[in-house]
Amino acid sequence: MSSLLSHRHSAIRINLSLPIRGGILFRPPRHSFSSIPSTRCASQLFLSLRCSSSTQNIILRCICRLSKSRHFLEHKPSPNRCLFSCLALPATAVDSEKLQQDVESTLKVANNRRIYQETYGCQMNVNDMEIVLSIMKKNGYTDIVDSPEHAEIIFINTCAIRDNAEQKVWHRLNYFWFLKREWKTNVATGRSTSVHPPKVVVLGCMAERLKEKILDANKMVDVVCGPDAYRDLPRLLQEIDYGQKGINTLLSLEETYADISPIRISSNSVSAFVSIMRGCNNMCSFCIVPFIRGRERSRPIESILREVGELYDKGVKEVMLLGQNVNSYNDISGVKDIEAESSWELSDGFSSMCKVRSKGLRFSDLMDQLSIEFPEMRFRFTSPHPKDFPMTCFI
């Protein structure tokens, strides 16, 4: 590239997917930016490319000329980094430092799609949303906004325990559908500032229960993702751009998201949620949880200690341990050569239809490790079952 650009009349044309047709023409600089006439700036866009040890100017020639004369600012990237960036500003006298700040803020909005999230239901759903935000951040979705009118992606994490919870979700989905359907009008009136009509993503238990029925409901929803498929969200969001259905509601026997550090929604809070297990094996006749959360699987103790240690370093004083049935915790990650059909010790007077095949570290072992590693922190837990409180938990 550098050898080609060293020739005065050399050029490379690249086709871009833009609303207006255009190409990129590489040329060595022949004059300073200040000496370019304003009439020429109306049809040419100057950028900066870091190529080897020299900086080259890039000229974008638009087939359609701009309706008004505009000045363009040359934005130089940091060394050893290839960056294409530009900003079109009205032809007015503005301070150069202010222009530079406008360039950086505009690039940040353009390169990062904004996310808005709503969560309904239990504390487990709150922790799941924190996991989703972490997954999306790793894939370039870094901006989180406080209003759905300013977001390009809307996440709604749902609950399916009661009908009232689902009705609240349907009510919100109707409003999000309005934001999609009337996007042009909302932008024109200033109600919305999103770059394109928002993509609506339904997560959690309601997504797992209804599956494709949500996608078929007046095209209100773009993506449906179950509680064990959050790693697939970036791919699902890309698929709908090509006209495909974005849905994944497969349940897993292994997924615990143990390697993901959640992004805390309440970053300044002194308490935090930590998930230690997922799913439930109790199969109570009145409960839907085993069918929408899957079978029980527990996180390794090492991953829980790592996450709690990160919270401790951030000043968190209290941790709430979460799970569909926390005291049935069974870490078999480090256990080998366990006999099949081995029994599971239950509380006196209780029995279970689901037999535990492998015995590992129990809930009492986890609490013991946490109390030793973090004696200054307070640990609480929720949703225990009386059948999993044998005397070993109190000794």
Q: What SS3 state is found at 146?
A: coil
Quick check: is 256 in a domain? no
Asked, for residue 259, whether it belongs to a domain, the answer is no
> Is 265 a member of any domain?
no
- Residues recorded for the chain: 395
Tell whether 347 is covered by a domain. Answer: yes
The per-residue pLDDT for 78 is 41
Regarding predicted confidence, which is higher, 392 or 330?
A: 330
207 conformational bin, left if phi > 0, alpha if psi -120 to 50, beta if neither: alpha
Here the CATH number for the domain that contains residue 339 is 3.30.750.210
Both 14 and 84 in one domain: the answer is yes
Domain boundary among 86, 110, 134: 110
pLDDT of residue 106: 52
Tens-digit pLDDT profile for residues 48-99: 333 333 333 333 333 333 333 333 333 344 433 333 434 444 444 445 666 5
Residues 166 and 73 in one domain: no
For residues 231 and 129, state if they share a domain: yes
Start-to-end CA distance of the chain, whole Å, equals: 71
DSSP secondary structure letters along 351-388: --SS--S---EEHHHHHHHHHHH-TTSEEEE----GGG
- Could you tell me if 262 and 274 are in contact, meaning their C-beta atoms sit under 8 angstroms apart? no
Q: Tens digit of pLDDT for each residue in 258-294? A: 999 999 888 778 999 999 999 998 888 888 899 999 9
pLDDT tens, 332-382? 887 654 444 444 577 766 767 676 667 788 888 899 999 999 999 999 998
Judge contact between 62 and 22, C-beta under 8 A: yes
pLDDT, one tens digit per residue, over 110-137 is: 444 899 999 999 999 999 999 999 999 9
Residues 179-196: what's their mean pLDDT? 92
Contact of 134 with 140, CB cutoff 8 Å = no
Domain membership flag for residue 343: yes
Q: Is residue 310 part of a domain?
A: yes
Q: Among residues 110, 141, 164, which one ends one of the domains? A: 110
State whether 314 and 290 are in the same domain: yes
Q: What is the spatial distance between Cα 219 and Cα 350, in angstroms, rounded to a whole number?
A: 47
Q: Are residues 239 and 321 in the same domain?
A: no
> Which of 110, 139, 162 finishes a domain?
110
- Asked if residue 221 and residue 198 are part of one domain, the reply reads yes
Q: What does DSSP say about strands 114-119 and 143-144: parallel, antiparallel, or unpaired?
A: parallel
- Are both 136 and 98 inside the same structural domain? no
Is the entire prediction scored with pTM above 0.85?
no
Residue 245 near residue 222 (C-beta atoms within 8 A): no
Q: What CATH code is carried by the domain that includes residue 218? A: 3.40.50.12160
What is the rounded distance in angstroms from the CA atom of residue 36 to the CA atom of residue 41?
7
Neighbours of 48 (CB within 10 A): 18
Domain that holds residue 212: 112-248
Judgement on whether residues 143 and 15 belong to the same structural domain of the protein: no
Residue 121 and residue 11 in one domain: no
Query: Angle, nearest 10°, between helix axes 301-313 and 363-373?
Result: 30
Looking at the 3D structure of the chain, how many domains does it have?
A: 3
Within 229-326, strands assigned E span 246-248, 271-275, 277-278, 297-298, 318-322
Residues 95 and 121 in one domain: no
Please check whether residues 69 and 117 belong to one and the same domain: no
Q: Which residue has the tokens 């009145």?
A: 286
Residue 143 lies in a domain: yes
pLDDT at 4: 45
Q: How many CA atoms lie within 13 A of 98 on its CB side?
A: 5
Q: Are residues 230 and 117 in the same domain?
A: yes
